[in-house]
A = this chain, B = another copy of it.
Amino acid sequence: MKRLKIPDVTVHRLSDYARILDQFDGEGIRIVSSDVLAARCGLNPAQIRKDLAYFGEFGVRGVGYHVGELKENLKGILGVTHAWRVALVGAGNLGSALAAYQGFLTHGFIITAVFDKYPEQAKLPPNGRFPKILGVDRIKAEIRRRGIQIGIITVPAEAAQGVAERLVSAGISGILNFAPVRLRVPKHVKVRNVDLGSELESLSFFLSKQGGAPS
C-alpha cells in the first residue's frame, strides 16, 4: 500500500465500482474478475487493478475479487460507512429539489439544514420531512451546533463566494457547488463543481460539429 496523491478520476471510479459491486451483490454474484468489472464500467481491466492498487491488495490471484469484501473496502476508502451531515444553502428551484431528492440518502448523506437568504419566500420541498429553512446569517451557528461537515451551494452566482466563505468559517471543508463560479477557498477545503450550463454547452459543441445545428 502506497501513500500517493490519488487522482480525482480514480476517486470517481471508486464510486462507480462500489455501485456496480452492489448490483452484483444483489444478483448473487460472489466473485468478480477485473475483466468482468471492467466490461460493466466500460473500462480497461488494468485501470481497475491500478486504481485499487493505490489502496492495497484486495484480490486473489487466479480467482478475482470477493464482491462483498471489495465493496466494504471501497466504502471504507470512500468514507461512506457512516452518514455525513450536509447543509444546503439556497432553497430556490434547484436547492429545494435536491433537498427533496431521495438519491442522496442511499449514499449516506443527510441534509440536516437548509438555508436561504429569504427563508420565508423559499420554495418549500414538496414533502414535509425537511428541516425548517433558516436565514443565511445563521449558517455559522447552526452548522457548528449540528456538526455538519459538507455544504451544498445552490444560490445564484453572485452570492456563491459569500456563502462559501460563511461555510468555511463555520468549519466546513467539503463543498459541492452548483453556482457557475470558481470559488476561492483555503486549500484545505475541497470543492467539487457541478455546472449544468456548462454540461449542456459541451453537448451543444459536439452536436454542432456533427452538423445538427440548432433552430
Task: Mark A residues whose CB is within 8 Å of B.
Answer: 6, 8, 11-12, 14-16, 18-19, 41-42, 77-80, 82-86, 92-94, 96-98, 100-104, 106-109, 123, 125-126, 147, 149-150, 173-176, 180, 182, 188, 190, 192, 194-210, 212-215
With CB as the reference atom, state the residue of chain B lying closest to A179. Answer: B103
Point out which of A82, A126, A198 has the most chain B C-beta atoms below 10 A from its C-beta. Answer: A198
Which residues of chain B are near A207, meaning CB under 8 Å? Answer: 79, 84, 149-150, 173-174, 190
| Copies of this chain present | 2
- The residue in chain B whose Cβ has the minimal distance to the Cβ of A77 is B205
Contact A202 B106, CB 8 Å, known A79-B213, A84-B214: no
Known contacts: A150-B200, A203-B176. The answer to whether A208 contacts B79 by CB under 8 A is yes
The 7 residue pairs across chains A and B that have the minimum distance between CB atoms: A97-B97, A79-B208, A174-B203, A15-B198, A107-B197, A79-B204, A190-B206
In the complex where A150-B203, A205-B77, A207-B149 touch, is A196 in contact with B104 (Cβ < 8 A)?
yes
